[in-house]
Structure 1
């Protein structure tokens, strides 16, 4: 099986289904309607957890705001992408991009896990590499994952372990593992190395550098000029690159990183909001509360109460 093949145009696919004129639902997780307020950025569960509730069939649906990576460890099944089902066996990894209609039919002995990730986590990696962006634009099936995508499989299972555990920095590590799984899966699908430096690839390298700098300095609330100086271009030029590659401004990327860390601290620590504000570099807790409310539509305390109740923490 050619793992880099586009499933929508594969002439070897069997089980063609008629065009779907009926409504195709959009979910966060299958069977769960979209919430207007608050969204997880990362979710992991075993495949049987949800599929057994639906008689081992996940009917056609889409996730506009998320992408998914599945590892099939045991059993068999069929995956629907576009207008055709394609069979798969044990030791398979499946990648579903945001917005793609898909469904599954699983055998009753199915085993494995599914990792669901907010689509914004594709922005910086895909913006920094055209080949990674090309990989992430299409659904993928990687058979014989033990040999071809072992590192990606390891990362997916480490994500599950980190989410289930209570280790220090677990969500930061999970974030890094999501990126590692994406890159290793793209390599397993035959994604080529990025081209030698030219004006376009220089911008990709600058975006990679920007991502590293934001991760290192977001708590310090540095101005655009700080990042531009270290990358060696003007703030206006850096902002143009960010918008062209990710669809978001430099300030939007920094704010998103602050919000990610704020959400994690509110849900997974018992620190008061004032202490979280201080840790994130806000000298005024009231300003932190306004910042959080402006971007999420709810106060830090309301977000914490709702998410902890939902996760039963």
Structure 2
């Protein structure tokens, strides 16, 4: 029987250049039925599932997947993969130091489509030529990382951008938007709900608030959200709040208390506990650690940088790869 697991106990791997960690890496994925995969990292993660099928937990949402497909996850996200058969494939991970999706979103078009898409699912199915394209691009990236050479980073970055653009186009074709233009047709109420959450998530945190605005039953609305997005309405609202919080923590130096207040929380400690449960770390550590390893390039204002925090306690490799390039 599938279960959420404990979000605060996921093994984690934090990229830290001070320890010589690579900003981009390719590893093999082999998951046996008796082992599974539970992980949390500060990398953007792409899993190319080449064989097998199962379920993937992305935070609290559980999504089915089958091969061949691509799975997409954001930094500090809880990931749990379970299957009754062996699953194998390839994992591509890159940190914002190599390619910041939030900065390059207009160029590659994947922010909010492949990553940070709280109103969609993190799965892109592959067929025929699309799988061959993914195989070729990942082979090129692996080759550059293994062999090196002139302008290695530029070559890897070019292949990565092409992969992201291809996957973005494919996901748009498959899933469309909440108005039902893709293969997965969503009921109109979800588009109305999305608009209301985007306009009100700073003030309204309860499912009943949105049900009232939509003149519908909270339980019925929750069932629609669960059926199509594989998460509860409470989780959907919370994900939008945390998406905003992570942006402010990464790109501004607003005090945590101010961020909490702007998101409708008068209790800073409650907000901090909510954030830590979602990311594995306190808001202050999240900001200071990422700002330190990014050299302050994430900040939108020129101010003295936070001091570099101590290294995190957990340095386990949560991906458990069979081999690494």
Bigger Rg, which one: 1
Coarse TM-score class (shorter-chain normalised): 0.3 to 0.5
Q: Which has the higher contact order (CA 8 A, sep 6+)?
A: 2
Which structure's residues are more often helix, by fraction? 1
Normalising by structure 1, report the TM-score: 0.46
**TM superposition score normalised by structure 2:** 0.45
